[in-house]
Amino acid sequence: MSDLGFALQLMGIGMITVFIILSLVVLLGNLIIRFVNKYLPEEISHKVQQVAVQTGNFNRKKIAAIVSAVKIVTEGKGHVTKIEKM
């Protein structure tokens, strides 16, 4: 019975250790995300303004949505230069 008790004790310590380390990873990840979002914001508005000046009569929210969608789909490699109504 001693070996079984030692094995369960060792398993419990291992599980607690893994839980603590994973909790620290999640906590630090969230802190890094909050820090970056607060002090290093993404400048989408400059691109939206450039496209908005060229298009004229479109809604700025729609232009922002289009620019964001293109950026997400192309993983930052594609840029909106002109929008035409068809």
What pTM value is reported for the model?
A: 0.48
Residue with tokens 């997400």: 72
User: Domain span at residue 67?
Assistant: 43-86
pLDDT reading at 49 higher than 70: no
Residue with tokens 């929210």: 61
> Does 37 share its domain with 65?
no
> Does 1 share its domain with 15?
yes
Long-range contacts of 73-81 (CB under 8 A, 24+ apart): 79/47, 80/47, 80/51, 81/51, 81/54
> Does 63 share its domain with 74?
yes
> Does 68 share its domain with 55?
yes
Q: Are 66 and 48 in contact (CB under 8 A)?
A: no
> Does 81 share its domain with 48?
yes
Largest CA distance in the chain: 81
Q: How many domains does the chain have?
A: 2
> Does 37 share its domain with 59?
no
Question: Of 17-26, 31-40, 52-61, which gets the smallest average pLDDT?
Answer: 52-61
Instruction: Identify the band that residue 30 occupies on the pLDDT scale cut at 50, 70 and 90.
Output: very high
